[in-house]
Chains A and B, each alone.
Chain A
Amino acid sequence: MAKKVLLVDDSTTMLMMEEMILKQRTNYDCVTAKDGMDAISRAVEVSPDLVLMDVVMPRMDGFEACKRMRMETSLSGVPIILVTTRGEEENVEAGFQSGCSDYVTKPINSVELVALLQSYLGE
């Protein structure tokens, strides 16, 4: 069965690009959400194998959504990769404190993104 990836971003441009990259280069199924709150309900509903989530979003940011997902028993072990705009140390540190497994910086490099996801999910 295909692995399921939950893509979370308030930017439709970003969601479109991520979804297309994964369609081109992997056999993963993609599910999308537009902010942190939406992401939590979608994650509980579809039980993704991995979450790729933006940090800066309306209603609930990626750090908070990450923390809350870690409190859900069904999601506590799911790899969460945060997409940050700035790679500064404080942001990365805040991401890991919120329970993320890894991070990538914008703009996304398609080769690096696929390699990172495959390192968690396999091909």
Chain B
Amino acid sequence: MNVETKTQSLPPTHAGSGLRRVADALEHAADGFLKQSLERTPNAGVWAKLYAASQTLLSAMPEARVAPALFEICATLLGCEEVAIVEIKGEPAAVEFLDEERLSPDNRRALIQNGRFLRPMISPGEAWIPWDQERCYSPLIPRRISALVPLWKDEQSGGAMLLFELLPQRSGFDAEDREVLQLLALYAGPCLRSEARD
């Protein structure tokens, strides 16, 4: 099976439907990952990662610890320890930091100065990886960001998780990483928002 297609069959998430509904959808996905994982397919490593990521999010939701869970997933599964969760608001675009992990002052400054470039990069359900892009929205941001995970997008605002420099032993994201990023693009936003509401 093509690794790239693994998360495409996930059930849709419903941003306005509350903690239980998001948890049900994620639990359904995790069950699927577990079943696939135990079938000992050749690329079983990716199922293990997807299962670990989804279970980490699931167990964080009732404790309202989704952001720390996301940071843990980024560090342990993706090799990125510098992460920011932001919201881009208003016109002109202003960056609000909702949570962060090991964000350097330089990158914080760069985000504040270039927030307007982030909004077009937020495409719901789809992670943005700079080195996949033919056209960069900003000469500054793509050089610093390893990936942007969309969390939500409204008319006047957009939420995103930004992954900065990868650990030195990593030269980029492989197919397994992309599946984890895709999972986060589908579920991280609804998990965070339902946690905030419930």
Q: Which residues of A contact B (CB under 8 A)?
A: 11-14, 16-17, 20-21, 23-25, 85-88, 105-107, 109-111
Contacts and interface: CB of A to CB of B under 8 A. Distances in A.
Contact of A11 (B38, B76, B167, B170): B76
5 contacts: A16-B51, A20-B48, A24-B40, A25-B40, A111-B45
B59 A12 contact: yes
Contacts of A106: 75-76, 79, 167
A13 B51 contact: no
Nearest to B51: A20
B156 interface: no
Interface of B: 37-38, 40, 44-45, 47-49, 51-53, 55-56, 59, 69, 72-73, 75-79, 81, 167-170, 177
Contacts of A16: 48, 51-52, 55-56
Nearest to B73: A13
A102 B38 CA distance: 28
A80 to B, nearest CB: 20
Contact of A21 (B44, B53, B69, B170): B44
The 7 closest A-B pairs by CB, nearest first: A110-B45, A20-B48, A17-B52, A16-B52, A24-B44, A107-B79, A13-B56
A15 to B, nearest CB: 9
Nearest to B80: A107
Contacts of A88: 168
Contacts of B56: 12-13, 16
Nearest to B48: A20
Contacts of A21: 44-45, 48
A49 to B, nearest CB: 21
B38 A23 contact: yes
B168 A87 contact: yes
A27 to B, nearest CB: 11
